[in-house]
Protein backbone atom coordinates (compact mmCIF):
# COMPACT_ATOMS: atom_id res chain seq x y z
CA UNK A 1 0.00 0.00 0.00
CA UNK A 2 1.21 3.50 -0.84
CA UNK A 3 0.76 6.09 1.91
CA UNK A 4 0.81 9.87 1.52
CA UNK A 5 1.56 11.97 4.61
CA UNK A 6 0.57 15.63 4.25
CA UNK A 7 2.62 18.42 5.82
CA UNK A 8 0.91 21.73 6.59
CA UNK A 9 2.67 24.82 7.98
CA UNK A 10 2.80 23.97 11.68
CA UNK A 11 2.57 20.18 11.37
CA UNK A 12 4.88 18.50 13.90
CA UNK A 13 3.94 14.82 13.78
CA UNK A 14 4.42 14.26 10.06
CA UNK A 15 7.92 12.81 10.42
CA UNK A 16 6.80 10.57 13.29
CA UNK A 17 4.12 9.17 10.98
CA UNK A 18 6.55 8.74 8.08
CA UNK A 19 8.99 6.91 10.37
CA UNK A 20 6.38 4.46 11.65
CA UNK A 21 4.93 3.69 8.23
CA UNK A 22 8.25 3.54 6.39
CA UNK A 23 10.73 2.18 8.94
CA UNK A 24 8.61 0.20 11.38
CA UNK A 25 6.02 -1.14 8.94
CA UNK A 26 8.08 -1.18 5.71
CA UNK A 27 5.48 0.67 3.63
CA UNK A 28 5.95 2.97 0.65
CA UNK A 29 5.47 6.56 1.82
CA UNK A 30 5.26 9.82 -0.10
CA UNK A 31 5.59 13.14 1.71
CA UNK A 32 2.97 15.54 0.37
CA UNK A 33 3.14 19.34 0.77
CA UNK A 34 -0.04 21.25 1.54
CA UNK A 35 0.25 23.23 -1.72
CA UNK A 36 0.42 20.05 -3.84
CA UNK A 37 -2.54 19.17 -6.03
CA UNK A 38 -1.34 15.68 -6.93
CA UNK A 39 -1.70 12.79 -4.48
CA UNK A 40 0.87 10.86 -6.54
CA UNK A 41 -1.17 7.70 -6.70
CA UNK A 42 -1.34 7.21 -2.93
CA UNK A 43 -3.92 4.73 -1.67
CA UNK A 44 -4.06 6.03 1.90
CA UNK A 45 -3.71 9.69 2.92
CA UNK A 46 -2.68 10.69 6.45
CA UNK A 47 -3.29 14.14 7.92
CA UNK A 48 -0.87 14.26 10.88
CA UNK A 49 -0.94 16.04 14.20
CA UNK A 50 0.47 19.47 14.93
CA UNK A 51 -0.71 23.06 14.88
CA UNK A 52 -1.53 23.82 11.25
CA UNK A 53 -1.36 27.56 10.62
CA UNK A 54 -0.79 28.07 14.34
CA UNK A 55 -4.35 26.95 15.15
CA UNK A 56 -5.51 30.46 14.28
CA UNK A 57 -9.27 31.01 13.88
CA UNK A 58 -10.11 27.39 14.77
CA UNK A 59 -7.86 24.36 14.67
CA UNK A 60 -7.99 23.01 11.12
CA UNK A 61 -10.18 25.82 9.76
CA UNK A 62 -7.42 27.34 7.61
CA UNK A 63 -5.76 24.05 6.69
CA UNK A 64 -9.00 22.85 5.11
CA UNK A 65 -8.48 25.58 2.48
CA UNK A 66 -5.03 24.31 1.46
CA UNK A 67 -4.87 23.24 -2.21
CA UNK A 68 -4.21 19.60 -1.36
CA UNK A 69 -7.44 19.29 0.61
CA UNK A 70 -9.52 19.53 -2.54
CA UNK A 71 -7.78 16.38 -3.76
CA UNK A 72 -8.02 14.69 -0.36
CA UNK A 73 -11.78 15.32 -0.30
CA UNK A 74 -12.16 13.91 -3.82
CA UNK A 75 -10.08 10.89 -2.82
CA UNK A 76 -12.29 10.25 0.21
CA UNK A 77 -15.53 10.79 -1.70
CA UNK A 78 -14.32 8.22 -4.26
CA UNK A 79 -13.82 5.65 -1.51
CA UNK A 80 -10.11 6.29 -0.90
CA UNK A 81 -8.75 5.95 2.61
CA UNK A 82 -7.99 9.02 4.73
CA UNK A 83 -6.88 9.17 8.35
CA UNK A 84 -6.55 12.27 10.52
CA UNK A 85 -4.80 12.20 13.88
CA UNK A 86 -5.20 15.04 16.40
CA UNK A 87 -4.90 18.18 14.23
CA UNK A 88 -5.66 15.93 11.27
CA UNK A 89 -8.94 14.91 12.95
CA UNK A 90 -9.75 18.59 13.41
CA UNK A 91 -9.07 19.22 9.72
CA UNK A 92 -11.37 16.34 8.75
CA UNK A 93 -14.28 17.74 10.76
CA UNK A 94 -13.67 21.26 9.44
CA UNK A 95 -13.63 19.83 5.89
CA UNK A 96 -16.91 17.99 6.39
CA UNK A 97 -15.37 14.56 5.85
CA UNK A 98 -16.27 13.65 9.42
CA UNK A 99 -19.16 14.81 11.54
CA UNK A 100 -18.97 16.85 14.72
CA UNK A 101 -16.32 19.27 15.93
CA UNK A 102 -13.32 19.37 18.26
CA UNK A 103 -13.73 22.07 20.90
CA UNK A 104 -11.43 23.40 23.63
CA UNK A 105 -10.79 20.87 26.39
CA UNK A 106 -13.20 21.37 29.27
CA UNK A 107 -10.22 22.20 31.49
CA UNK A 108 -9.25 24.99 29.06
CA UNK A 109 -5.70 23.62 29.29
CA UNK A 110 -3.39 21.80 26.89
CA UNK A 111 -3.17 18.14 27.91
CA UNK A 112 -0.19 15.90 27.16
CA UNK A 113 -0.24 12.46 28.76
CA UNK A 114 -0.89 8.78 28.20
CA UNK A 115 -4.51 7.67 28.19
CA UNK A 116 -6.28 4.37 27.67
CA UNK A 117 -8.55 3.69 24.71
CA UNK A 118 -11.04 0.91 24.20
CA UNK A 119 -12.18 0.02 20.67
CA UNK A 120 -15.93 0.57 20.35
CA UNK A 121 -16.33 -1.61 17.26
CA UNK A 122 -14.57 -4.12 15.05
CA UNK A 123 -16.52 -2.84 12.04
CA UNK A 124 -13.74 -0.73 10.52
CA UNK A 125 -10.31 -1.38 9.07
CA UNK A 126 -8.45 0.38 11.89
CA UNK A 127 -10.23 -1.61 14.62
CA UNK A 128 -11.01 -4.94 12.94
CA UNK A 129 -8.02 -6.75 14.45
CA UNK A 130 -8.17 -5.00 17.82
CA UNK A 131 -9.63 -6.61 20.93
CA UNK A 132 -12.84 -4.79 21.91
CA UNK A 133 -12.44 -6.18 25.43
CA UNK A 134 -8.94 -4.77 25.85
CA UNK A 135 -7.56 -1.27 26.37
CA UNK A 136 -4.63 0.34 24.59
CA UNK A 137 -2.29 2.93 26.08
CA UNK A 138 -1.93 5.80 23.61
CA UNK A 139 -0.61 9.36 24.17
CA UNK A 140 -2.68 12.51 23.71
CA UNK A 141 -1.37 16.06 23.20
CA UNK A 142 -4.04 18.65 22.46
CA UNK A 143 -5.79 21.77 23.63
CA UNK A 144 -8.88 21.35 21.46
CA UNK A 145 -9.81 17.69 21.62
CA UNK A 146 -13.30 17.71 23.12
CA UNK A 147 -15.49 15.92 20.61
CA UNK A 148 -18.88 17.55 20.24
CA UNK A 149 -21.91 17.04 18.04
CA UNK A 150 -25.62 17.68 18.46
CA UNK A 151 -27.81 15.00 20.00
CA UNK A 152 -29.13 13.72 16.67
CA UNK A 153 -25.61 13.35 15.25
CA UNK A 154 -24.36 11.53 18.34
CA UNK A 155 -27.30 9.14 18.13
CA UNK A 156 -26.57 8.54 14.45
CA UNK A 157 -22.89 7.81 15.16
CA UNK A 158 -23.90 5.40 17.91
CA UNK A 159 -26.59 3.67 15.84
CA UNK A 160 -24.33 3.32 12.78
CA UNK A 161 -21.41 1.92 14.75
CA UNK A 162 -19.24 4.86 13.65
CA UNK A 163 -17.52 5.41 16.98
CA UNK A 164 -14.04 3.90 16.84
CA UNK A 165 -12.60 4.52 20.30
CA UNK A 166 -13.59 5.74 23.74
CA UNK A 167 -11.43 7.07 26.56
CA UNK A 168 -11.40 4.58 29.44
CA UNK A 169 -9.54 3.48 32.51
CA UNK A 170 -6.89 0.79 32.18
CA UNK A 171 -9.62 -1.67 33.06
CA UNK A 172 -12.04 -0.31 30.48
CA UNK A 173 -14.33 1.90 32.58
CA UNK A 174 -15.88 4.71 30.52
CA UNK A 175 -16.71 7.03 33.40
CA UNK A 176 -16.18 10.79 33.42
CA UNK A 177 -13.11 10.33 35.62
CA UNK A 178 -11.25 8.85 32.66
CA UNK A 179 -12.45 11.38 30.08
CA UNK A 180 -9.44 13.72 29.66
CA UNK A 181 -11.12 16.52 27.71
CA UNK A 182 -14.88 16.33 28.20
CA UNK A 183 -15.71 14.60 24.91
CA UNK A 184 -19.34 13.52 24.62
CA UNK A 185 -19.72 9.85 25.53
CA UNK A 186 -15.92 9.63 26.00
CA UNK A 187 -15.52 9.60 22.20
CA UNK A 188 -11.87 9.56 21.11
CA UNK A 189 -12.30 8.69 17.42
CA UNK A 190 -14.94 8.19 14.75
CA UNK A 191 -15.31 7.03 11.16
CA UNK A 192 -17.61 8.14 8.34
CA UNK A 193 -20.58 6.15 7.07
CA UNK A 194 -18.45 4.64 4.29
CA UNK A 195 -15.82 3.56 6.84
CA UNK A 196 -12.95 4.84 4.70
CA UNK A 197 -12.25 8.04 6.66
CA UNK A 198 -10.89 7.73 10.21
CA UNK A 199 -10.30 10.44 12.78
CA UNK A 200 -8.89 10.22 16.29
CA UNK A 201 -7.32 12.59 18.80
CA UNK A 202 -4.78 10.20 20.43
CA UNK A 203 -1.46 9.51 18.67
CA UNK A 204 -0.90 5.81 17.85
CA UNK A 205 2.25 6.75 15.90
CA UNK A 206 3.80 7.79 19.22
CA UNK A 207 3.24 4.30 20.61
CA UNK A 208 4.49 2.07 17.81
CA UNK A 209 8.22 1.61 18.47
CA UNK A 210 9.82 -0.69 21.02
CA UNK A 211 12.38 2.05 21.73
CA UNK A 212 9.53 4.03 23.33
CA UNK A 213 8.58 1.06 25.55
CA UNK A 214 5.05 1.11 24.14
CA UNK A 215 3.88 -0.61 20.97
CA UNK A 216 0.13 -0.53 21.61
CA UNK A 217 -0.37 1.85 18.69
CA UNK A 218 1.35 -0.47 16.23
CA UNK A 219 -1.68 -2.77 16.31
CA UNK A 220 -3.82 0.04 14.84
CA UNK A 221 -1.58 0.32 11.80
CA UNK A 222 -1.27 -3.44 11.42
CA UNK A 223 -5.06 -3.68 11.33
CA UNK A 224 -5.15 -0.99 8.60
CA UNK A 225 -2.59 -2.88 6.53
CA UNK A 226 -4.54 -6.11 6.86
CA UNK A 227 -7.92 -4.70 5.90
CA UNK A 228 -7.43 -1.67 3.63
CA UNK A 229 -7.19 -2.98 0.08
Task: Give the DSSP letter of residue 209.
Answer: B
CA-based angle 187:177:120, to the nearest 5? Answer: 30
| Nearest-angstrom CA–CA distance, 159 and 163 | 9
- Which residue is catalytic, options 71, 75, 86, 94? 86
Question: 76-96 burial string, b = 16+ CB within 10 Å, else e?
Answer: beeebbbbbbbbbbbbbbbbe
> How does residue 64 score in pLDDT terms, banded at 50, 70 and 90?
very high
- Which residue is catalytic, options 94, 99, 144, 205? 205
pLDDT tops 90 at residue 229? no
Q: Would you identify the CATH topology of the domain 2-227?
A: Rossmann fold (3.40.50)
Q: Are 145 and 224 in contact (CB under 8 A)?
A: no
Q: Are 169 and 176 in contact (CB under 8 A)?
A: no
Q: What is the pLDDT of residues 5-20, one digit of tens each?
A: 999 999 999 999 999 9
**Does the annotation mark 205 as catalytic?**
yes
Phi, psi of 205 (to 5 degrees): -70, -15
Q: Are 92 and 49 in contact (CB under 8 A)?
A: no
**Does the annotation mark 86 as catalytic?**
yes
> How does residue 87 score in pLDDT terms, banded at 50, 70 and 90?
very high
Q: What is the pLDDT of residues 142-198, one digit of tens each?
A: 999 999 999 999 999 999 999 999 999 999 999 999 999 999 999 999 999 999 999
**Does the annotation mark 222 as catalytic?**
no
Amino acid sequence: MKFGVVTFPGSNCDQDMVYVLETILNQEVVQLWHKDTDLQGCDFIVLPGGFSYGDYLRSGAIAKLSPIMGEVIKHANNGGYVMGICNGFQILTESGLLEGALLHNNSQKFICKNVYLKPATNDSAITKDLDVNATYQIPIAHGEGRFYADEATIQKLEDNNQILFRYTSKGGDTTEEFNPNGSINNIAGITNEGRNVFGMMPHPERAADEALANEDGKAFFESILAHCK
